[in-house]
Amino acid sequence: MIKQLLLAPGPTPVPARVRAALARPVIHHRTPQFGELFGRTREALRELFGTDGDVLMLSSSGSGAMESAIVNCFAPGDKVVVINGGKFGERWLELAKMYSLEVVEIAVDWGSAVRVEQVEQALKDHPDARGVLVQGSETSTTTCHPIEDIAKLTRERDVLLAVDGITAVGVYDVPMDRWGIDILVTGSQKALMLPPGLACIALSERAWERAKSVCQPRYYFDLARERKSQAGNSTAYTPAISLIFGLEEALSMMKEEGFPQVFARHERNARATRAGVEALGLELLSPNDPSPAATGLYVPEGVDGKKLHGYLRDKMGVAFAGGQGHLKGKIVRLGHLGYIGAFDVITSLSALEMGLRHFGHKVELGRGVGAAQEILMSALPD
């Protein structure tokens, strides 16, 4: 028996309380009983998103919600600035092109964040831009873009800021209304501690206004239709009922811990992970703008990244994520979002140390772990 541990940047481990909720008998969705559950969940999501507006739940992966952002808020020919610094930046790019938007691409090195000045310059060069599309946390490169500062630029222009917050919402504070984000998306299988299959999206009032004039065919992802249904605690199409049971439970757990404490835990675990990686003399993928959701590191020379990743998963029971796109085989990503405690960080680093040693890389066992412990000690109660 090899005990299986999921330590990837998503899907993330689902707590037993949430799994028990997923196993509840299904109830019919056109009932007051479901309506009450749905209403409570909507309220908790509002709090998490930091918005007075509606947070809609869609039965799809996060990519479906990203598509809904495009087809509801941008018309063919609309010019959008796309921050492309990883696989999910590419996803925005592909979506924008598929729906005939005119794309101004800001290509960013994988592992770096866009600089606010680049966005400002793009908006100056393209005063007719109608939107900026960006990741709150680019999962493929474990990097955060400066959302708050970008929002300062977009909110004073007629430019909608669309944020893929799939590994941002619930990881760090993304107060939508306060910052002035226009479109914020997340998925269930990340900080929300659920299996995949549910996505959430919220729009600002001006994004809803814009949607009224956008002529783009849409049906399953028609957000105005969903908004009308969901305001009455129902959904336009049959919802993923069990995932909503689970979502209520997961949001309860987060509120019991306290959202600020959840964010602080992510920040601390991320810092401890990075300290451990650096103590091992390994190179961080994103040294300057790291995401609190996951930590990417370059596999050292002489070690086959694909083999390392497979060995950790199949022989040691620890499922990290590898690299995507041109980083395939070159990096490992340690997830630390969602239901992750201090000892999951210890496990991650310990597995990394042992895996590297197994493949002949010179590692002082315990050194990365020790560096992480120094940081994790700070959170111990008196």
Q: Is the dihedral of CA 200, 205, 207, 208 positive or negative?
A: positive
Query: Considering only residues 219, 326, 381, 382, which one is a binding residue for a copy of itself as defined by CB under 8 A?
Result: 219
Q: Tell me if 241 contacts a copy of itself by CB under 8 A.
A: yes
Query: Considering only residues 109, 157, 232, 237, which one is a binding residue for a copy of itself as defined by CB under 8 A?
Result: 237
Cα Rg of the chain (Å, integer) = 21
Q: Is the dihedral of CA 55, 57, 61, 63 positive or negative?
A: negative
Q: Tell me if 370 contacts a copy of itself by CB under 8 A.
A: no
Window 160 to 199, contacts with a copy of itself (CB under 8 A): 187, 189, 195-198
Spatial contact of 353 and 366, defined as CB atoms under 8 Å apart: yes
Which range touches a copy of itself (CB under 8 A), out of 16-24, 43-51, 280-288, 300-308?
16-24
Q: Distance between terminal CA atoms of the chain?
A: 38
Least distance from C-beta 58 to a copy of itself, angstroms? 9
Pinpoint the alpha helices (H) of the chain: 16-22, 32-49, 62-73, 87-98, 116-125, 147-155, 176-179, 205-213, 223-231, 241-257, 259-279, 305-314, 342-358, 367-376
Spatial contact of 200 and 45, defined as CB atoms under 8 Å apart: yes
Q: Tell me if 20 contacts a copy of itself by CB under 8 A.
A: yes
Least distance from C-beta 373 to a copy of itself, angstroms? 26
Among candidate residues 162, 150, 16, 8, the one with its CA nearest the CA of residue 89: 162
Q: Tell me if 220 contacts a copy of itself by CB under 8 A.
A: yes
Fill in the per-residue mask, 25 to 54: x = in contact with a copy of itself (CB under 8 A), - = not in contact. xxxxxxxx----------------------
* Residues 6+ positions from 52 with CB-CB distance below 8 Å: 46, 177
Query: Considering only residues 41, 51, 60, 347, which one is a binding residue for a copy of itself as defined by CB under 8 A?
Result: 60
Query: Considering only residues 35, 99, 224, 252, which one is a binding residue for a copy of itself as defined by CB under 8 A?
Result: 99
Six-digit token string for 351: 């597995």
Task: Find residue 256's DSSP bridge partners.
Answer: none
Spatial contact of 70 and 95, defined as CB atoms under 8 Å apart: yes
Q: Tell me if 264 contacts a copy of itself by CB under 8 A.
A: no
Query: Considering only residues 239, 290, 296, 323, which one is a binding residue for a copy of itself as defined by CB under 8 A?
Result: 239
Six-digit token string for 228: 């009308």
Which range touches a copy of itself (CB under 8 A), out of 148-156, 236-244, 353-361, 374-382?
236-244
Query: Considering only residues 48, 80, 95, 192, which one is a binding residue for a copy of itself as defined by CB under 8 A?
Result: 95
**What are phi and psi for residue 309, nearest 5 degrees?**
-60, -45
Query: Considering only residues 2, 98, 231, 365, which one is a binding residue for a copy of itself as defined by CB under 8 A?
Result: 98
Least distance from C-beta 263 to a copy of itself, angstroms? 23
Task: Provide the binding-site residues for a copy of itself, judged by CB under 8 A.
Answer: 4, 6, 8, 10-14, 19-20, 22-32, 59-64, 67, 94-95, 98-100, 187, 189, 195-198, 217-221, 237-243, 313-314, 319, 321-322
